């Protein structure tokens, strides 16, 4: 099982981060095998992992076995239909359900950098707000799409928002893909006051 260095405190509360959480939920891994997983970090060589059960030790037992189960369970029936490439019209509540799950995944993928990493994006107060109210951080934009082919991937990048005259702010992007489902989540910093870029 792969292990990524992570923060010492839970990303969603003040408790100790003593619980390992899968970056890709086990039920997704059990649905279909895509073979080895390629792990590439900026400035490092690509690593091939035969076991893709990557985990991060960035959450506490209380969060992992408590409120974090609800977004997973609520989104599961909708996600499985999209994974299987079945047509699905999402009402507003279902869109919120998917957005909450994607946001939880984004927090987990961000946490693998470590709490004190220079490129960690989410702030502690955003993790706490997500824990308490399942609030997607302000200025977060989420797109959901369909893939013609099937694969599993997680790609992320930081970016800088620029105008002709000045630097507006920083942001991060995470694109997840599983089978026929692909969401992209982008989060500009608060400097981008109208949420567009």
In the chain, what percentage of residues exceed pLDDT 90? 29
Segment 104-132 shows an average pLDDT of 83
Torsion over CA of 154, 157, 162 and 168, rounded to 10 degrees? 100
Whether pTM > 0.85 for this model: the answer is no
Residue 26, pLDDT > 70, answer yes
Alpha carbon 161 to chain centroid, angstroms: 21
Q: Per-residue pLDDT for 195 more than 80?
A: no
Which of the two residues, 88 and 188, has the higher pLDDT score?
A: 88
Q: What percent of the chain has pLDDT over 70?
A: 81
Nearest to 130 by CA among 148, 163, 107, 149: 107
Higher pLDDT, 75 or 135: 75
Q: Ramachandran region of residue 174, left (φ > 0), alpha (ψ -120 to 50) or beta?
A: beta
- Cα distance between residue 168 and residue 191, in whole Å: 6
pLDDT at position 40, please?
66
**CB atoms near residue 109 (< 10 Å):** 22
Q: What is the reported pLDDT for 50?
A: 66
Identify the pLDDT of residue 77: 94
Dihedrals phi, psi of 52, to nearest 5 degrees? -95, 15
Mean pLDDT of 49-65: 82
Query: Is 9 exposed, middle or buried, given 0-12, 13-18 or 19+ CB atoms closer than 10 A?
Result: middle
Q: At what angle do helices 124-133 and 92-111 cross, to 10 degrees?
A: 140
Model confidence pLDDT, tens digit, residues 148-171: 899 888 887 777 777 777 887 778
Mean pLDDT of the chain: 81
Burial 137-171 (b: 16+ CB within 10 A, else e): bebbbbebeeeeeeebebebeeeebeeeeeebbbb
Residue the block writes with tokens 């039920």: 27
Give the DSSP letter of residue 137: P
């Amino acid at each position: 099982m792969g292990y990524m260095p992570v923060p010492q405190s839970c990303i969603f509360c003040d408790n100790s981060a003593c619980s390992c959480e899968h970056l890709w939920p086990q039920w997704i891994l059990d649905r279909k095998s895509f073979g080895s997983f390629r792990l590439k970090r900026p400035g490092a060589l690509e690593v091939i992992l035969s076991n893709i059960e990557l985990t991060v030790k960035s959450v506490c037992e209380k969060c992992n076995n408590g409120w974090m189960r609800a977004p997973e369970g609520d989104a599961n029936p909708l996600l499985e239909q999209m994974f299987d490439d079945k047509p699905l019209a999402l009402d507003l509540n279902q869109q919120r359900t998917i957005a909450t799950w994607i946001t939880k995944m984004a927090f987990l993928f961000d946490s693998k950098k470590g709490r004190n990493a220079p490129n960690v994006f989410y702030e502690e107060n955003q993790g706490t707000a997500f824990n308490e109210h399942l609030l997607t951080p302000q200025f977060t934009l989420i797109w959901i799409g369909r893939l013609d082919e099937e694969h599993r991937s997680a790609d992320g990048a930081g970016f800088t928002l620029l105008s002709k005259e000045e630097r507006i702010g920083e942001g991060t992007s995470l694109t997840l893909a599983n089978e026929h489902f692909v969401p992209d989540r982008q989060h500009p910093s608060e400097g981008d006051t109208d949420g567009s870029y």
